[in-house]
Amino acid sequence: MIKNLLYTLYTLLSILKCRSFLNIPLHKESTHGKCVVIGAGPSLQETLSMSGNLIDDIPKMCVNDMVLSDEYESFKPQYYILLDPIYFSDDLSDNLRTIKNKLMDEMITKTKWNMTLYLPWSSREDNELQKICSDNSLIKIEYFNSNVVRGFKQFKFLLMKMNLGMIQAQNVLVAALFIALNIGYKEIYLLGADHSWHETITLNKENQVCVKQIHYYDDDKLRHRPFYKNPEETETFTMDELFMAWSLVFKGYHNLKQYAFYLNARIINISTKTYIDAFDRIDLKSLPKH
């Protein structure tokens, strides 16, 4: 009770301090429809192979590096969201700088349909990302409020519905599902959400925590790499820090389930492999054709 009261007061003070947050509307896209949020987990190919053309006519939302895959142009997502700090930091390692530049170039070149790119409000002065929009008029940018709201449940949900804040998004899929709910979708299918990173953990000879961050489009030559916590790639997670961060990812999904219920919406996880236990799961082949 006292903890929630303190969180509520802190959230209110944060909103009053950052008045610019009051001017970040998310335009409604649907009031009852369905959409698909696509993660890049290694199970995605299997899920797609089982589905045939089942999701072809459902609006799609892709995340982070999906534009670098061959499937991006066949998905033709109506929505795309970037959240990882590497896209918004000025101080990047050479490796991450290369990835960011390639992502922007590929998005500009490949996108030949109308698409909304969602970026956190804090990135609004990033001239590099603005270049995507100026170089491809089919892409429009909308900003979302990534300010985390805490406190009493009904208080939090009201602020979220007003786009004055959101659930803590430790993973981009949390933010993607949140945005899909707030732009009006009532039935959201999630796929490619394996979240099986823990299966690949190891320690190298320098006692650094290493992980294989496997995506469905990666080749078999992918190796374990130190799991860095900053865009400059100078500091790695310790084992306890890593599992704490991952616990926040899964907590975010349980908070999303409650928020979806508040909005009379539903999130369904149709990934063939997943460690997310928050959402209902059904076989992809059992979904009605559109």
Element (H, E) at 190: strand 187-191
Q: Between the ranges 85-99, 114-128, 276-290, where is the mean pLDDT highest?
A: 114-128
Calculate mean pLDDT across residues 261-270. Answer: 95
Cα–Cα distance, 39 to 176 (Å, whole number): 10
What letter does residue 42 receive in the DSSP assignment? T
Calculate mean pLDDT across residues 223-240. Answer: 86
Cα–Cα distance, 227 to 78 (Å, whole number): 31
- Contacting residues for 110 by C-beta, under 8 A, at least 6 apart: 67, 72, 73
Cα–Cα distance, 227 to 214 (Å, whole number): 13
Residue pair 213/197 in contact (Cβ under 8 Å)? The answer is: yes
In b/e form, how buried is each residue of 124-136, taking b as 16+ CB within 10 angstroms? eeeeebeebbeeb
Token pair recorded at residue 19: 């008045």
Calculate mean pLDDT across residues 209-225. Answer: 75
Q: What phi and psi values does residue 268 have, to the nearest 5 degrees?
A: -120, 125
Element (H, E) at 13: helix 2-17
Residue, of 242 and 23, whose pLDDT is higher: 242
Residue 140's identity, in one-letter code, is: K
Average predicted confidence (pLDDT) for the chain: 85
pTM, full prediction? 0.88
Residue pLDDT, tens place only, 194-205: 999 999 899 999
Calculate mean pLDDT across residues 168-191. Answer: 94
Q: Where are the domains of the chain?
A: 2-17+34-271
| Residue 253 Cα distances to 151, 174, 177, 222, 259, angstroms | 17, 6, 9, 28, 10
| Residue 245 Cα distances to 52, 67, 120, 160, angstroms | 35, 26, 20, 22
